[in-house]
Structure 1
């Protein structure tokens, strides 16, 4: 009796868990100016770890190897940034010609709308002016948010390399911290979980970089075949937007489609650009990414989309990028904790048995809710002995009879009925 009274009710445990989760999310939101650079630094240090180990094998020392690895990362990111800025400057030189073609396209659009829907140009201009006035009203808040994001970006450019260096240099120190934190857990299991997190996140990041390179080549090839100028720029920019899962390539197709609409004589070029990018997105999602990333990052699309939306609500654009590796890390942790394995199962990908047409019946039988159906088989034997022949001849005939399949719910309903009668 004492044990029952001292045990807390489930509702209290659930309320405390929800309250703790709410406090953690609130703390993450309030500290995002430091937390977001730290999370990006963790991802960068994970992807740089093999390079740091390579420099250490060359006997450069742990600190110098970490510095060299961070410098290599800065050089690569700076090269990509220079390429985007340089190409943007080149494209902007033709801005006047592009603007004239855009205006002519807009003029033809106005004529088509007037002929199709009967809307006068003056009405369209009034609507545009109204929307423009609404946009000007929010200019102050837009500028403040823009400068705020620029400030966060500048802070990130300083903090991320610094954090990445210390994460690489102090990596064994942090590993021992986890050993000390989870003393009650077998240290071998703690070490396995840390290694699993590293493998999952690294395979996601390296796979993402590889897929981005393949997608950039496919995008560029399609744009070149259609004769679109600056194909390498538009193709590479769309592949970089894959940092935004599920929507990156679709967003990246808008800019080259508008460019094709402006510089080409037919709108079919813009439609062709969008169609080709959608084909590339289909290939990436169904063939390229599954074969390169493999089954190490097993997150079902529903949970991935929910995580991306929540990450965007919490951290904005940075949350969209950080969502998938963060969810993959949570899945590894949940799989290692017995009380959280159900949530880890929910995050993971369904197995083939869950997607069959008769999966419900198999699931109920797996968990013992219904009995397995069985066939009642009988064999009829007919033995005939001919005593007149010498020697005696014996003939054996048999026939297999299969009776109807047993209804798996039949016995269950009878038993439940008997139980009810017994209770009465």
Structure 2
């Protein structure tokens, strides 16, 4: 009886949970210089956990296995960066030829606009210069907002591997912290929630890497068929841009399309590049990702887009990358908190019965609304 009388109303619990969420978002915003590297480190540590655990099975000390796992990730990331920089340098050797080709294309477009709309070439050139100068004047601001200062980048290069090592090395220590922090909650539920968070994040990261590899191959094959040079570079770069959900592949198609426009004798090659990348994006969103990731990371597309927009507002470029894994973690937490279960349901994917032709009737029957409405009508009469 004491439990039922002392139990707080649902509206009170909901208000307290929402207020806590607002305070957490405020703390995230003001401490982002520390928390963003920490969140990236958590993602990296979770992705490296199977490697560290594998090494520990062969009697490697936990510290040594954690160091090897972090070094392995540094080697892989450094290899990708070297590949991109090397290819950019190689392509840059033909910079003069590409510039001449682009100038020819620009002059052709300028002449077409003059004939079609009667706009003088000088006016077009002046407008392009004006737009270019405006873009360049804001470029520093955009780059600074996206990547932070050079000192911040260098600090991240050192801090993220260091954080990742300690998160791997002290992983059981941190797990016990949550047992202490949530003493009022059954420890089995805390343990289960932590395991769910690990599973969701691990599924997202492994799924993302697998999908990126498949998309890189598909992009490259399409570019090779079209005869575009440096197909592996452009195909891989576009797949890496999938770190920016929903817009990555579309952005990644711009560079190879422009390159095809500059190196090929027909604009149809550029159109073909854009069209193929859109086909790959359709396959990725509707076939590849659902079959690889499955229902382990269940976020409906509307909430995913909203999360990406909010992540970008909160953390800039880093927020776009962190948005989906963070939303997946938030969903697990909401599902575990009684007062926030409705919001966890809202973030998740709809069930099959939500999308059927007679879904409204199914919903009414599911929540027994028909009987309640009938009782209400009877009482009114």
Give the shorter-chain TM-score range.
over 0.9
Query: Which runs of structure 2 are paired with 1:25-36 in the superposition (5 Å)?
Result: 25-36=25-36
Gaps of 5+ in 1: 1-5, 372-407
1:367 to partner: Cα distance = 1.0
Cα distance in structure 1, aligned partners of 2:348 and 2:10: 26
The TM-score, its normalising length taken from structure 1, stands at 0.84
Aligned to 1:207: 207
Give a deviation string over 1:79-115, Cα, whole Å, max 9, x none: 0000000000000000000000010001111111112
Aligned to 1:165: 165
Give a deviation string over 1:298-356, Cα, whole Å, max 9, x none: 11000001001000110011101111110111111111122211111111100000000
Bigger share in strand: 1
Cα distance in structure 1, aligned partners of 2:352 and 2:249: 29
1:137 to partner: Cα distance = 4.9
1:14 to partner: Cα distance = 6.4
Aligned to 1:179: 179
Give a deviation string over 1:191-242, Cα, whole Å, max 9, x none: 1111111111001100110111110000000000110000000000000001
Aligned to 1:419: 379
Instruction: Look up the SS of the partner of 2:298 in the other structure.
Output: coil
Structure 2 CA distance for partners of 1:334 and 1:416, relative to 1, 3 Å: closer
Aligned to 1:60: 60
Structure 2 CA distance for partners of 1:359 and 1:140, relative to 1, 3 Å: closer
Bigger share in helix: 2
Query: Which runs of structure 2 are paired with 1:167-316 in the superposition (5 Å)?
Result: 167-316=167-316
Structure 2 CA distance for partners of 1:290 and 1:69, relative to 1, 3 Å: same
The TM-score, its normalising length taken from structure 2, stands at 0.93
Higher deviation after alignment, 45-54 or 181-190: 181-190
Tell me which of the two structures has the higher relative contact order, counting C-alpha pairs closer than 8 angstroms and 6 or more residues apart.
Answer: 2
> Over the residues paired in the alignment, what is the CA RMSD in angstroms?
2.2
Structure 2 CA distance for partners of 1:195 and 1:269, relative to 1, 3 Å: same
Cα distance in structure 2, aligned partners of 1:277 and 1:136: 28
Instruction: Look up the SS of the partner of 1:277 in the other structure.
Output: helix
Gaps of 5+ in 2: 1-5
1:142 to partner: Cα distance = 5.5
Structure 2 CA distance for partners of 1:325 and 1:141, relative to 1, 3 Å: closer
Cα distance in structure 2, aligned partners of 1:239 and 1:45: 22
1:117 to partner: Cα distance = 1.9
1:138 to partner: Cα distance = 4.1
Give a deviation string over 1:169-197, Cα, whole Å, max 9, x none: 00000010011111121111111111111
Larger Rg: 1
Aligned to 2:50: 50
1:418 to partner: Cα distance = 4.4
1:149 to partner: Cα distance = 3.6
Contact 2:147/2:317 (<8 A) preserved = no
Cα distance in structure 2, aligned partners of 1:191 and 1:86: 46
